[in-house]
A and B are shown apart, each in its own frame.
Chain A
């Protein structure tokens, strides 16, 4: 069936290092790929998104890359800080533009 696979499930990095989270999706018609950050007990919040007509998008320390041919996209966080510690979810519309399906999540821990 349609799904979004996300790896790794947990990631620990030293403060100042980079973190990379990868997602693959199954629906070749998907054209919008958001990334959400969810801190413990809080709501998911959009941190960056990319549309299928763009290969890369950057916003300060955060960047997302998209490979439509291979059907995967990645989140890159540079110069990580303790406040980046959270669960990160990728998402993609599967089986219809309104059916946004979330990946399984990556728990990122930034060690001071």
Chain B
């Protein structure tokens, strides 16, 4: 199984809503990532978890709150988002330390904030 599964695939939320994005992998990877990708732009790193501990937060606003409940799951909790937060949110995972081994991406959640 070389899949990273993200749910939901699409999400529309209001600026006062609270929602969560979910990511799951069963490859035994111990590093997991959240990236944000705007249209026609490269993915931008948001958070990195290593062995279920947050190791990198790229100065992401607190309205985005990551959580790693166990080695297979990664969540991104969303609250009070702005329309400019609309984007494709990609989860990725890799074996061992960091991404100097192959990183596998999920299909992403396309988020629209209205």
Q: Which residues of A contact B (CB under 8 A)?
A: 31-32, 34, 42-46, 49, 51, 89, 91, 93, 96-105
Beta-carbon contact of A104 and B42 below 8 Å: yes
Beta-carbon contact of A105 and B100 below 8 Å: no
- Of the residues A31, A32, A43, A103, contact of B107 by C-beta under 8 Å: A43
Mostly, the B contact residues are loop
Residue pairs across A and B with Cβ atoms less than 8 A apart, 26 shown, are A31-B100, A32-B99, A34-B99, A34-B102, A34-B103, A42-B107, A43-B105, A43-B107, A43-B108, A46-B102, A91-B99, A93-B99, A93-B100, A97-B97, A97-B100, A98-B48, A98-B55, A100-B45, A100-B103, A101-B45, A102-B43, A102-B44, A103-B42, A104-B42, A105-B40, A105-B41
* A-B interface contact total, Cβ < 8 Å: 59
Hey, which chain A residues are within 8 Å of B45, CB to CB? 99-101
Hey, which chain A residues are within 8 Å of B106, CB to CB? 43
| Range of interface residues on B (Cβ < 8 Å) | 20 to 34
CA distance in complex: A108, B43 (Å):
18
Hey, which chain A residues are within 8 Å of B43, CB to CB? 44, 89, 102
**Which residues from 79 to 114 on chain B have a C-beta closer than 8 Å to any C-beta of chain A?**
90, 97-100, 102-108
Beta-carbon contact of B42 and A45 below 8 Å: no
In this assembly, does B56 line the interface, its C-beta being within 8 Å of a C-beta of chain A?
A: yes
CB of B111, distance to nearest CB on chain A (Å): 15
In this assembly, does B50 line the interface, its C-beta being within 8 Å of a C-beta of chain A?
A: yes
CA distance in complex: A98, B92 (Å):
12
